[in-house]
Amino acid sequence: MNRFHNWYCRSSLWRRTLHGSILPWALNGARLGDNVLEVGPGPGLTTDVLMHRVPKLTAIEFEPLLAERLRGRTAGTNVTIMTGDATAMPFAPDQFSAVVSFTMLHHVPSRDAQDRLLREACRVLRPGGVFLGSDSRSSLVFRAAHLFDTMVLVDPDQFGRRLEEAGFEAVRVDSRPKAFRFSALKPPAGD
């Protein structure tokens, strides 16, 4: 991430936006279950909320420094931080009751890699488990904040089909002017 983006993702302004708008909207009515995986927590502002909502939380973060900082900050809690690539997760199939991802999919470097991440999310979910989250939509400010960053926008109008192709059902994608949220289920066993 560029310096501005790195600062902003740790800022109190972004924390207020996450806590006051994005997370309540994305998590509205969600039943996450007992063992949740967070994909791409970055500095962990979303982790701070999730750890108080679920009994067990695992987060996988690609950037080693971010993972190490978050690991130190959450030591002794119900959170486990893994350093790794969400397009090839080191977890067993059917392990998690829910997988969540907030405002990070656009940091995955290609559409193909994003699709691998979606397939991995489905693989590690228990049958009937939910995959949900949010991501940003394009705007001038959003593009400016991502100068010299990885930014592969996700088209919310195509995202539902991509989730279905990854193996999900009961897909829902809702958009706002600056963001979209999604939820999808891994088919129950025997389907």
Percent of the chain scoring above 90 in pLDDT: 73
Q: Hunting for tokens 């989730």 — which residue is that? A: 163
Report, at the CATH architecture level, how domain 3-185 is classified: 3-Layer(aba) Sandwich (3.40)
* Mean pLDDT on 154-164: 96
pLDDT band at 13 (very low <50, low <70, confident <90, very high): confident
* Mean pLDDT on 110-132: 98
Q: Would you state the pLDDT for residue 9?
A: 67
Q: Hunting for tokens 């009751």 — which residue is that? A: 97
187: helix, coil or strand? coil
CA distance 135 to 133: 7
pTM of the model: 0.91
Largest separation between any pair of C-alpha atoms in the chain: 48
